[in-house]
Amino acid sequence: MPYLFTSESVSEGHPDKIADQISDALIDNFLAFDKDSKVACETLVTTGQVILAGEVKSNTYLDVQQIARDVINKIGYTKGEYMFDGNSCGVLSAIHEQSDDINRGVDRNNKEEQGAGDQGMMFGYATKETDNYMPLALDLSHTILKELAALRRENKEITYLRPDSKAQVTIEYSNDNIPQRIDAIVVSTQHDDFNNDDAMLSKIREDIKTILIPRVIAKLPKHIQALFNDDIKYHINPTGKFVIGGPHGDTGLTGRKIIVDTYGGKGAHGGGAFSGKDPSKVDRSAAYATRHIAKNLVAAGLCDEILVQVSYAIGVVEPMGIFVDTYGTNKVNLTDGEIAQKVSEIFDMRPAAIEERLNLRQPMYSETAAYGHMGRKNETVKKTFTQPNGESINLDVELFTWEKLDYVDTIKQAFNL
């Protein structure tokens, strides 16, 4: 029997995502000037206020308040009527030095023997239902909000948009797990106040259907475009009004959108957030490594869909184990347990090896903090970072290294594909 599956995304202006972006901007600035920095930074945002807290071990000094303000302004919170803007909000820093009890389990004289920064399990997932090996409902939700943000910044076709928004897509699947059609789309977007609420809601609903959705469809491959039809149920600003939003509407915290950040509810999640953590924290680095493994296995033709789990003990170098579930789509004459064993032979999952393989000690994390950490474009960009004394550094930074398909040939050889 056909079934429905739903995923959601939130915009860069969502309170939790503001917090994530500030935390990851701090990570990037620390790594830019000291690549060996150990950082775990949490951010809270609310009406007119930002609170930074966490633990840092680094040889550099940063103006963390100014970094937070720059992020907020870049997102688009630049007006007093939002009750939260980068130029006037208060920024309180309660960042202190990392615990020696944690650090002693991570640092080693021999870099290769670096222990895991915490215990826990991490998951990576991939599916061939999209070109970027991501679940379709989540991929569409991200695309809708990225295009909505582009319309807001252009401020031409739609001129009343504010930064906070959410999207949700429900897809009907066949019995054999093939997307058949889009059943429903939910878009809630913050907006300027209107004189007439009924006219406002009618205008927003019309603009989303006739301006935003066609722009989204135009960016999709033909086989995904075919899933759109006139029978889609649209729920646009279903409460009727969304003027009060952002941190004034809801308090935001780092790490509260872990499903948006990963696979939209497909696969599994170990529970650890990513943003604000340097790559010695396996919550982050091992989640990227398992995505890298999963994507390369599917791209190599081993299976149509796969979940990869790895687990660690704090301070211990080798992982506790690797688990694989191909959901019955395995194309080789091996059990999932046998596949997991071969995966452990191909991919070195020691924390230091992951950092080196994926080049994770670059200031590459700000771009991950909105619209998902997975399924993004691997590219090299130029970045400039400035210290409080005016010293600047220009760097070429490779983004989303875990999205590279650089192990496909190795996998094909190992599995005789």
Which residues contribute to the annotated binding site? Answer: 14, 16, 42, 55, 98, 164-166, 241-242, 250, 256-257, 273, 277, 281
Annotated binding-site residues for L-methionine read 55, 98, 250, 281
d(CA 82, CA 191): 10
Q: Which two tokens stand for residue 297?
A: 């296995």
Q: Which of 182, 19, 1 is nearest to 89 (CA)?
A: 19
**Binding residue numbers for Mg(2+):** 16
Number of C-beta neighbours around residue 405 at 10 A = 15
Beta strand 120-127 pairing with 90-97: unpaired
- Kindly list the distances between the CA atom of residue 335 and the CA atoms of 49, 303, 339, 400, in Å, as whole numbers in the listed order: 53, 12, 6, 30
Q: How far, in Å, CA of 402 to CA of 378, rounded?
A: 8
Task: Report which DSSP code applies to 175.
Answer: T
Known binding residues for ATP are: 14, 164-166, 241-242, 250, 256-257, 273, 277
Helical ranges in 3-75 per DSSP H:
15-33, 64-75
| Residue 370 and residue 15 in contact, taking contact as beta carbons nearer than 8 Å | no
Residue 25's alpha-carbon distances to 75, 165, 263, 358, in angstroms, are 12, 21, 23, 19
> SS3 for 355?
helix
Side chain identity at residue 359, one-letter code:
N
Whole-angstrom Cα distance, residue 326 to residue 346?
A: 17
- Structure tokens given for 113: 């023997």
